[in-house]
Chains A and B, each alone.
Chain A
Amino acid sequence: MINIFEANETNEMIENENLDVRTITLGISLLDCIDSNLDRLNQKIYDKITTLARNLVQTGKDIEAEYGIPIVNKRISVTPIALIGGAACKTPEDFVTIAETLDRAAHTVGVNFLGGYSALVSKGMTKADELLIRSIPMAMARTELVCSSVNVGSTKTGINMDAVKLMGEIVKSTAEATKDNNCLGCAKLVIFCNAPDDNPFMAGAFHGVTEADAIINVGVSGPGVVKHALEKVRGENFEVLCETIKKTAFKVTRVGQLVAREASRRLGVPFGIIDLSLAPTPAIGDSVADILEEIGVESVGAPGTTAALALLNDQVKKGGVMASSYVGGLSGAFIPVSEDQGMINAVNRGSLSMEKLEAMTCVCSVGLDMIAIPGNTRSTTISGIIADEMAIGMINQKTTAVRVIPAIGKDVGDSLEFGGLLGSAPIMPVSRFGCDALINRTGRIPAPVHSFKN
C-alpha cells in the first residue's frame, strides 16, 4: 500500500517541481477524406476532426481533475496535408483553404495546436508537395493553431537539397509574412530529417501514413523533477548521477503511461506511444539548461555541455523505456532556446552559441529549436543551417530538426517576445560567411553507406 512519503513525493513533484504531462495528442488519419473537389475535401476534413476529437479536451480535463496531474496541452496531429490535398489543390492558395479548415476545426474542439500541415520530401517533391511548401508562409500567417513541418532528409534516402534550398526561402518568407506578430509563423514551422510518424510534440507532429485511423500519443515532461532529484546528489560520482536520472525518468514516465491509458480508454482510441522527452518551459525551475548546470557546467555552452547532455539524454531513455509499454516519437531531451529560461540566460551571458547548439544536437533530440536569428540573414545561409542539421541526422540515424526564426527588422541584441510556452528569444549571431555555391547546386545528397543494410 502507498505510504505517506510516497504520496508526498508525487505531490511535491506536481506542486513544486513542475511535473506535468506535456501533451495528449490525438493522431487522426485524413486519408479517407481525399476528394478531388476542394470544397468537399474541406468539409470532410472539418467533419472528421470535429467528430473524432470532440471529447478530447474534456477528457484531458477530467483526467487532470481526477489524478491531480496537470495536462498542459491537448493537441491533434493529422496526415501530412500534401498527401490529402494533392488531388484537389492546384495552387498554393487552394492548400491555404485546407489550413484555414484545420484552424477552424482546432478552434471548434478547443485544442492548443494542430500539426500536420506537412510534406514528406526526403527524396523528391511531387507537384502537391511543392504547392504545399510554397503555401506555408500564407498558411502560417492566416491561421493561429496550425503547425507545419517538412521532412527533407532521412538516413535511408539522403537529403533532398532542392527542398533544403526551398525551405531556406520559405522560412524567410514565413517570417516576412508574420513580421507584425513577432515572426510567429516560424515558431510553427519545423524542418526535419528522419521525422517520426508518431511524434506528439509541436510544431513537428503529424500523423504518419503507417499509423491507424486514430491514435493517442502522449508526451511527458519534467525537467524540474530531474533537476530537483540531482540537487540531492550534488558531488556524487557518475554512477549515482545516472541512477538518479534513470529512477526519476521512470517515475515521470509512469505518470504519462497512466494518462495515456486512461485517455485511450475514455476516448475509445488505441494507445500509440509515450514520447519520453524532457521538454522545458519558460517557467522558472522547468529548464533542461538548469539540469546541465546542476550536472556541473558553469553555464550551458561551456566545455563539457555536450557530454552532460549526452548522459542526460541516454539516462532519460533508459529510465523511461521500462516505464512504458510503447515508446516512440522524439524521446530525448529538448534544447529549445526561447522555451527554456536557462538557455536564454546562457545566450545572454555569452556562453551559448549556434555552433555549440549544433554540437549539442548530435547527442539529443531534436535540433536547433526556437532560435531567433538576425532578420537580414540570407535565405541560402538558413538553407546551410538546415543542411548541416539534416546531415547530422542522416549520418547519426536520428531525428534532427530546425526551427529558426529570422527576426525581421531586428538584429543581435534585440529579442522576440512570444509569451506563453513559446517564451522569448534573444537574437543569436549567425556566421557572416555564406554558402550560396553549395545551396545553389541542384539535386540531392545520396544516402550514407551505412543505410545499405539489406
Chain B
Amino acid sequence: MKKTIITVTGKDTVGIIAKVCNYLAENNVNIEDISQTILQGYFHMMMITDASKSDKNTAELAGDLKKVGEEIGVMIHCQREDIFDMMHRI
C-alpha cells in the first residue's frame, strides 16, 4: 500500500494536531512521520501515513479530513504520496 500524505495549513490554533490525530486513530490510519513549521505566520503540518489498514480509501479519507479542517478553520489535504514523488524526485 502506498503512503498517504496529509497536509494541514491555516491559522495556528489550539488542538489542530489533536483533532487530526483523533480522526486518524478512529479510522485506523498509522502516522509514520510528522513535521510542522510556521511559514509566513501560517501553521503548516505534514504527516506521512499508512492507511492500508483503514476501512476507508484515500478519496474517502480526503473528503472526511476536508470537513475536519473546515470545523477548525484550516485546510487539510490528504493525497497519495506519488504525486509529490513524481513532481519532486527524478
Contact = CB atoms under 8 A, between A and B. Distances in A.
Contacts of B48: 1-2
B18 interface: no
Interface residues of B, number: 30
A67 B5 contact: no
B7 A7 contact: yes
B84 A2 contact: yes
B1 interface: no
B58 A8 contact: no
A404 interface: no
Interface string A65-102: 11111000000000000000000000000000000000
Given A2-B81, A65-B59, A8 B39 contact: yes
Contact of B33 (A1, A68, A254): A1
Give the interface residue-count category, chain A.
Answer: 20 to 34
B64 to A, nearest CB: 12
B80 to A, nearest CB: 5
Given A1-B48, A6-B88, A65 B83 contact: no
B44 A4 contact: yes
Interface in A1-25: 1-4, 6-11, 15
Nearest to A6: B88
Nearest to B58: A66
B86 interface: yes
Nearest to B45: A4
A67 B7 contact: no
Interface of A: 1-4, 6-11, 15, 62, 65-69, 251, 254-255, 257-258
22 contacts: A2-B5, A2-B46, A2-B48, A3-B35, A4-B35, A4-B45, A6-B84, A7-B5, A8-B39, A8-B44, A8-B46, A65-B63, A66-B59, A68-B62, A68-B78, A69-B79, A69-B83, A254-B86, A254-B87, A255-B83, A255-B86, A258-B86
Given A67-B79, A67-B82, A258-B86, 14 more contacts: A2-B81, A2-B88, A4-B7, A4-B36, A4-B45, A6-B87, A8-B9, A11-B77, A65-B58, A66-B57, A66-B58, A66-B62, A67-B80, A69-B79
